[in-house]
Structure 1
Amino acid sequence: MINEERIINKFIEMVKIYSPSLEEREMANYLIGELKKLGLEVYEDNAGEINKGNAGNIIGILKGDGPEVMFSSHMDTVTPCKNIIPIIKDGKIMSKGDTILGGDDKAGIAAILEMLYIIKENNLKHPTLVIVFSIAEEIRLLGATSFDESKFNLKYGFILDSSGKPGSVVKQAPYHEQIKLKFIGKAAHAGIEPEKGISALYVAAKAISKLNIGRIDEETTLNLGIINGGHATNIVMEELNIVGESRSFDEKKLGETIETVIEICQNTAEEYGAKLDYELTREYDGFNFSEDYELIKLVKQAADNLKFPFKAESLGGGSDTNVYNKKGIDTVNLGIGMSKVHSTSEYIEKEDLINSAELILELVKVISNDVTK
């Protein structure tokens, strides 16, 4: 039932729209128009105001029979995303030039829009559908965090934002903590009296050498990704700032990893007469569903009906799914076939784009049949 030409054309049209995080206005306007054309009740929330962006989350409601079910993808993309020129080659849609494609997550949006078109054109039965196109997913999941779930009575939700093939579902995602470290030494002239200074760089290097960075175990990772400090080559570096993160499927292990980092850095700073300041931020909580869980079984049934290979997997990345589960909305992330995301080599196969729409349309049918049993 999927209109293959339409979904591909819509996707290509959307990836050309400039929409980096907190600058989603043009994309938001486009989607407001699309949802209204489809006859949905549409509004824009205050997530843009809360997060100092130029657009809020776009929410569309299509009344139906049965529970409220959310389908969601995010509007923002990573950079470089200006003047994207999409091309089709060997069955793949990719960008021409030095930009991303933007399939993360406009492929998800295209699938949701096509699902809505098919439902309306064929007058298909459906539960009440709450469509959420969120802002700023790529920067700390800000749009989903600002979403006011109290306005709805959502039974569960499906996020279209995973790199797996259509028919795959993320059953487990990690807890994620950001850590900011500031090593404070003492400035001195590097050529005249360096011995009177305490190099924050030297102290930090000593501390880092004692850390286990990378994959800690099968459930846990630690990374230090940003380092900056110093003002001139002739000054012993007084301050060095490091921003890192740890992720783990096990919340206890996450806490232990962060505690180890702080303990090693504090002890090393004291050893060399320096000081350490630190700041912790919980980016998001993890989730873990068994394959017997209702949502996972719904996805499996839809995949089986379409003869798509089903796979329930654990992934080390986060998404809006983490936020909605924390809010009490049982939610899973669906594979839509995105490949090499966050790079200029990004692409998506046309078949996966089409199959993503097929899958969620089948999910709607499965849910509707369950309601009438």
Structure 2
Amino acid sequence: MIKKDRLVENFLDMVKISSPSKNERAMGDYLLKILKELGLEVREDNAGEVNGGNCGNIIGILRAPGKKRLLFSAHMDTVVPCEKVVPVIENDIIKSDGTSILGGDDKGGIAAIIEMLRVIKENNLDHPEIVVVFSMGEEIGLLGSKSFDINSYGVDFGFILDSSGKPGKIITKAPSAARGKITIIGKPAHAGISPENGINALTVAAHAITKIKLGRIDAETTSNIGVVKGGQATNIVMPSIELDYEARSLSNEKLNTLINETFDIFQKVCNEFGAILENNVKIEYPGFSLEDCEEIVKIVKTACEKVGIKSETASSGGGSDTNIYNSKGVKSVNLAVGMTKVHTLEEYIEIKDLVDLSKILVEIVKG
């Protein structure tokens, strides 16, 4: 039932549409048109307005009164560079020409959802009530899903299409994440005339960094300082420094312990040097954990079995809209799309994976 050429053509059309975070308008208009043509009830919420973007979440509903209501979701935004994507097909693999990302993250997920809807309509398949959400601002903090009022739609289960790996991989566990800035305020002084009168913020940060835990803490927990900003000139004792920090863990207890330990160390070192510590690190999104015996997991595994695709459950080190929907009380899983080397110029996706994912979605709705 899956029409491979149509699926690929749709995917190619979408990756050519530039849609960086908070600038998804062109992509949103494209999807509004398709969903309307397919006969769904279509609307756009105010997530763009709330988050400073030019497009809200695009929502479509395919009615089936009295039946279970399933959510299928993928995000519209991509990382940069995505201004002029030129897709290339070689040996049944789609990639960019090397000057940009491809955008399979997450337009591969969107393409599979659209193909699923087309198969339902043209084959007049019996189906549950379907809510489709194409979210904005996922790449910069899951903004669209945080703003989406999922509880007003009465969704029973959510299937989010936003994981790397081969179709059949089911993400049932993902970490909580904390993120923000740690700022150390020292004291400026002339570096050549009176450095002893200053407090070098970099020195303070360096002493603290040697004491905190960074990198892989254990199998469930990571910690990282990814961006450092500070200084004015070489002849000025650095007056302040700003560290972009994040920590993740599948265990909320471990995450809270790590964050508290990190802040305590920074505060102690700042006190020793007479510097001031400011931090706005906070929980950005909660984690989730589903057991293999859950009904939603069984639904996906059964669908995979029907189309001859091996399924497996796995945990992820990254966050997605799945985290947010689970935190709002809707049991959701993140399904692998097949996208590979995402967020790089070497990103690619196999056509077979797009087809296999679409097959899985059709079987999920057929039940």
Task: Tell me the TM-score range normalised by the shorter chain.
Answer: over 0.9
Q: CA deviation at 1:330?
A: 0.9
Give the Cα–Cα distance (whole angstroms) in 2 for the partners of residues 292 and 225 of structure 1.
38
Aligned to 2:133: 132
Give the Cα–Cα distance (whole angstroms) in 1 for the partners of residues 17 and 141 of structure 2.
22
Letter in 2 for 1:264: I
SS of residue paired to 1:231: coil
Give the Cα–Cα distance (whole angstroms) in 2 for the partners of residues 336 and 55 of structure 1.
24
Contact 2:151 2:328 (8 Å CA) reproduced: no
Aligned to 1:38: 38
Task: Give the gaps of 5 or more residues in structure 1.
Answer: 367-373
Describe the superposition over 1:148-167 as per-residue Cα deviations: whole angstroms up to 9, x where unpaired: 12431111110010112111
Aligned to 1:104: 105
Aligned to 1:74: 75
Aligned to 2:242: 241
SS of residue paired to 2:178: strand
Letter in 2 for 1:69: L
Aligned to 2:177: 176
Letter in 1 for 2:10: K
Describe the superposition over 1:18-50 as per-residue Cα deviations: whole angstroms up to 9, x where unpaired: 100000000000000000010111010000110
Letter in 2 for 1:31: L
Letter in 2 for 1:55: C
Runs of 4+ in 1 over 2 A off after TM superposition: none
Aligned to 1:297: 298
Q: CA deviation at 1:136?
A: 0.3
What count of residue pairs does the alignment treat as equivalent?
366
Contact 2:245 2:281 (8 Å CA) reproduced: no
Aligned to 1:310: 311
Give the Cα–Cα distance (whole angstroms) in 1 for the partners of residues 309 and 291 of structure 2.
20
Q: Using the TM superposition, name which of 247-256 and 301-310 deviates more.
A: 301-310
Aligned to 1:3: 3
Contact 2:98 2:346 (8 Å CA) reproduced: no
Contact 2:42 2:58 (8 Å CA) reproduced: yes
SS of residue paired to 2:299: helix
Aligned to 2:261: 260
Describe the superposition over 1:225-273 as per-residue Cα deviations: whole angstroms up to 9, x where unpaired: 1110111111101111101100000000000100111011111111112
Aligned to 1:369: none
Q: CA deviation at 1:179?
A: 3.5
Give the Cα–Cα distance (whole angstroms) in 1 for the partners of residues 101 and 322 of structure 2.
23
Give the Cα–Cα distance (whole angstroms) in 2 for the partners of residues 149 and 107 of structure 1.
23
Give the Cα–Cα distance (whole angstroms) in 1 for the partners of residues 179 and 161 of structure 2.
25
Describe the superposition over 1:293-331 as per-residue Cα deviations: whole angstroms up to 9, x where unpaired: 111111111111111011100010000000001111111
Whether 2:90 is the aligned partner of 1:85: answer no
**Residues 77-226 of structure 1: pairs in structure 2 closer than 5 A:** 77-226=78-227
Contact 2:185 2:201 (8 Å CA) reproduced: yes
Give the Cα–Cα distance (whole angstroms) in 2 for the partners of residues 344 and 150 of structure 1.
38
Aligned to 2:64: 64
**Residues 324-343 of structure 1: pairs in structure 2 closer than 5 A:** 324-343=325-344
Structure 1 length-normalised TM: 0.97
Q: CA deviation at 1:68?
A: 1.2
Give the Cα–Cα distance (whole angstroms) in 1 for the partners of residues 262 and 99 of structure 2.
37
Aligned to 1:15: 15
Give the Cα–Cα distance (whole angstroms) in 2 for the partners of residues 361 and 139 of structure 1.
30
Whether 2:316 is the aligned partner of 1:323: answer no
Aligned to 1:355: 356
Give the Cα–Cα distance (whole angstroms) in 1 for the partners of residues 173 and 266 of structure 2.
31
SS of residue paired to 1:143: helix
Letter in 1 for 2:86: I
Give the Cα–Cα distance (whole angstroms) in 1 for the partners of residues 322 and 355 of structure 2.
22
Distance 1:289 1:150, change over 3 A: closer
SS of residue paired to 2:180: strand
Letter in 1 for 2:352: E
Contact 2:69 2:157 (8 Å CA) reproduced: yes
Between the aligned residues of both structures, percent identity stands at 52
Give the Cα–Cα distance (whole angstroms) in 1 for the partners of residues 112 and 118 of structure 2.
10
Letter in 2 for 1:87: V
Give the Cα–Cα distance (whole angstroms) in 1 for the partners of residues 173 and 152 of structure 2.
27
Structure 2 length-normalised TM: 0.99
SS of residue paired to 1:154: coil
Question: Could you say what the CA RMSD is over the residues aligned between the two structures, in angstroms?
Answer: 0.8
SS of residue paired to 1:82: coil
Q: CA deviation at 1:86?
A: 0.1
Describe the superposition over 1:97-116 as per-residue Cα deviations: whole angstroms up to 9, x where unpaired: 31000000000000000000
Q: CA deviation at 1:61?
A: 0.5
Give the Cα–Cα distance (whole angstroms) in 2 for the partners of residues 76 and 60 of structure 1.
18
Give the Cα–Cα distance (whole angstroms) in 2 for the partners of residues 59 and 358 of structure 1.
22
Give the Cα–Cα distance (whole angstroms) in 2 for the partners of residues 212 and 354 of structure 1.
43
Q: CA deviation at 1:280?
A: 2.1
